[in-house]
C-alpha cells in the first residue's frame, strides 16, 4: 500500500545522510570533510540559514541553498502562554499541510537546572480518531518525513528561540506527543529519533526522547530492538475495553490486554519504566472502578501512571475532571502501589492541547493569524 507522504522538492539538510552529502560534495570537487562541517553548522543554535555557516566558502553556501532546504517548515505562527514558559507553533509545510509543536519550560528545582520539553508531531493529522482530541477529529493528512519531524525541534533550537542552546545539553526532553500516532509512521519516526540522537547533529540522548503511542503493539515491539533506550509512553485513557473502544478506537484492533502485555515486554526487556498516560474526563473515566482497574493493570511491573486533566476541545461534550476527584483517583492508584503523577496543564489560553490551535487557524493564512495576534514571528 502506498502511504501519503510528501516527496520534497529538495532534500532537507536535517535528514540528508552523510554518504549522500559526501557524494554531492565530491561532484563539486569539494573535500569530504565538508560534510561534517555542514551538518554541525546547520545544527548550531545561531544558524538561521546556510548563509550563516561562514566557515564554508560563499560559493558552497550558495550551492547548498540551491540544492537543499535549510528547513522543511515553510512558515510558523507562534503563540506564547504561561508567562513565557509555554509557546506553541503551528507550522506550515511545503504542501500546505499544518502541524503543531509546543515548547514548555520548567523552572529550576533544587539542584536540577531549568528543564525544557519540546512536544512534536509525527503525522499531519491522525487516523486514530480519539473523540476527545482535536487532531483526531480533523482526520488524517499524511505521514511526516524524518526531516519534517526533526525540523520541529530545530525550529525551537534556532533563532529567535534557541531553546536547546540556552538550556544546555541534558536538560531538555523531546516527546512525540503532538499530532499523529508515531508508531503508525514508525520507519520515519524511528529515523527521526536516530537523527536527533546523532552526535554530528543535535546529539540528543535517547533517554531524553519519549515516543508516545495509543497502543500500536507491533510498533511497541519494534522499539524493544530498534530503540531500546528511548522512553515509551502508552496513552491508555481507560481501564476497561468497553470504555477504551470508545475513547481510543484503535483499542478494537489491539485491546487493553495486548497493549499492557506489550508495555510489560518493553519494560522487562529494556529495564525502562513505561509511562501510562491517562487523560481525565469528568464523570467518564475518572470513577473509583476505573481507578481500581487501572491500578490492577499498572501494578507489579515497571510502570508509572501520568494523569492529565482534559483540556476540552471547543464544543466538546466532555470537560476535565475536577481537582478533588483527581486527588481521589491518585489516592486509589497510590494505595494500589502504583507510582502516579498529575501532569500540569499548559497553555490553556493558547489552545495548547493537540490539534486545537491548528483547528482554530483553519482557513486563515499564518500571516493573517500573526497580524491578528501581533505576536512574535518565527519563519524558517
Which of residues 39, 99, 164, 179 is near ligand SF4 by CB under 6 A?
179
Rounded CA separation 301/187 (Å): 28
Closer residue to ligand SF4, CB minimum distance, 81 or 354? 354
β-strand pairing of 73-81 with 86-93: antiparallel
Number of residues that bind ligand SF4 (CB under 6 A): 12
Least Cβ distance, residue 214 to ligand SF4 (angstroms): 4
Site for ligand SF4 in 342-361 (CB under 6 A): 354
What is the per-residue binding string for ligand SF4 in 116-145, x denoting contact by CB under 6 A? Answer: ----------x-xxx--x-xx---------
Separation between Cα atoms, residue 286 and residue 297, nearest integer Å: 15
Catalytic site includes residue 242: no
CB of 53 to ligand SF4, least distance (A): 36
Annotated catalytic, 349? Answer: no
Stretch that binds ligand SF4, among 94-102, 177-185, 282-290, 297-305 (CB under 6 A): 177-185
Of the candidates 30, 92, 100, 148, the residue annotated as catalytic is: 100
Q: Interacting stretch for ligand SF4, rule CB under 6 A, among 174-182, 268-276, 297-305, 329-337?
A: 174-182
Only one of the segments 34-42, 154-162, 179-187, 337-345 lies at the binding site for ligand SF4 (rule: CB under 6 A); that segment is 179-187
Find the binder of ligand SF4 among 11, 141, 147, 180 (CB under 6 A).
180
Distance of closest approach, residue 288 Cβ to ligand SF4, in angstroms:
25
Q: Is 154 or 179 the residue whose CB approaches ligand SF4 more closely?
A: 179
Q: Which of residues 192-251 bind ligand SF4 (CB under 6 A)?
A: 214
Nearer to ligand SF4, 100 or 151 (CB): 100
Catalytic residue among 119, 126, 133, 354: 354
Least distance between ligand SF4 and beta carbon 100 (Å): 10
Q: CB of residue 356 vs ligand SF4: minimum separation in angstroms?
A: 11
Q: Angle between the 186-197 and 217-226 helix axes, to the nearest 10 degrees?
A: 30
Q: Which residues bind ligand SF4 (CB under 6 A)?
A: 126, 128-130, 133, 135-136, 179-181, 214, 354
Catalytic residue positions? 100, 354
Amino acid at each position: 500500500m502506498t502511504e501519503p507522504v510528501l516527496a520534497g522538492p529538495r532534500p532537507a539538510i536535517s535528514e540528508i545522510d552523510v554518504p549522500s552529502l559526501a557524494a554531492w560534495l565530491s561532484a563539486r570537487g569539494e573535500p569530504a570533510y565538508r560534510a561534517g562541517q555542514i551538518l554541525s553548522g546547520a545544527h548550531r543554535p545561531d544558524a538561521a540559514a546556510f548563509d550563516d555557516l561562514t566557515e564554508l566558502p560563499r560559493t558552497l553556501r550558495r550551492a547548498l541553498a540551491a540544492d537543499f532546504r535549510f528547513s522543511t517548515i515553510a512558515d510558523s505562527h507562534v503563540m506564547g502562554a504561561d508567562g513565557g514558559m509555554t509557546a506553541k507553533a503551528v507550522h506550515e509545510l511545503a504542501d500546505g499541510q499544518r502541524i503543531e509543536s509546543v515548547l514548555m519550560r520548567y523552572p529550576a528545582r533544587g539542584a536540577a537546572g531549568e528543564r525544557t520539553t519540546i512536544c512534536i508531531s509525527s503525522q499531519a493529522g491522525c487516523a486514530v480518531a480519539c473523540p476527545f482530541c482535536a487532531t483526531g477529529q480533523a482526520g488524517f493528512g499524511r505521514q511526516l518525513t524524518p526531516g519534517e519531524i526533526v525540523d520541529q525541534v530545530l525550529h525551537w533550537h534556532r533563532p529567535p528561540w534557541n531553546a536547546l542552546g540556552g538550556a544546555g545539553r541534558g536538560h531538555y526532553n523531546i516527546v512525540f506527543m503532538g499530532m499523529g500516532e508515531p508508531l503508525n509512521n514508525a520507519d520515519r519516526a524511528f529515523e527521526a529519533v536516530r537523527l536527533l540522537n546523532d552526535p554530528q547533529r543535535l546529539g540528543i540522548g535517547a533517554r531524553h526522547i519519549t515516543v508516545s503511542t495509543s497502543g500500536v503493539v507491533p510498533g511497541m515491539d519494534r522499539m524493544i530492538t530498534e530503540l531500546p533506550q528511548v522512553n515509551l509512553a502508552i496513552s491508555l485513557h481507560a481501564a476497561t475495553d468497553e470504555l477504551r473502544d470508545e475513547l481510543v478506537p484503535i483499542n478494537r484492533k489491539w485491546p487493553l490486554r495486548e497493549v499492557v502485555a506489550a508495555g510489560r515486554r518493553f519494560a522487562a526487556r529494556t529495564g525502562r519504566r513505561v509511562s501510562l498516560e491517562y487523560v481525565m474526563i469528568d464523570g467518564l473515566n475518572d470513577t473509583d472502578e476505573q481507578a481500581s482497574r487501572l491500578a490492577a493493570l499498572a501494578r507489579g511491573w515497571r510502570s508509572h501512571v501520568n494523569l492529565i486533566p482534559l483540556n476540552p476541545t471547543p464544543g466538546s461534550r466532555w470537560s476535565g475532571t475536577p481537582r478533588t476527584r483527581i486527588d481521589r483517583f491518585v489516592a486509589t492508584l497510590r494505595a494500589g502501589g502504583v507510582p502516579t503523577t498529575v501532569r500540569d496543564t499548559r497553555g490553556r489560553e493558547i489552545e495548547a492541547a493537540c490539534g486545537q490551535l491548528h483547528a482554530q487557524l483553519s482557513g486563515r493564512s499564518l500571516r493573517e493569524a500573526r497580524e491578528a495576534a501581533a505576536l512574535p514571528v518565527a519563519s524558517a
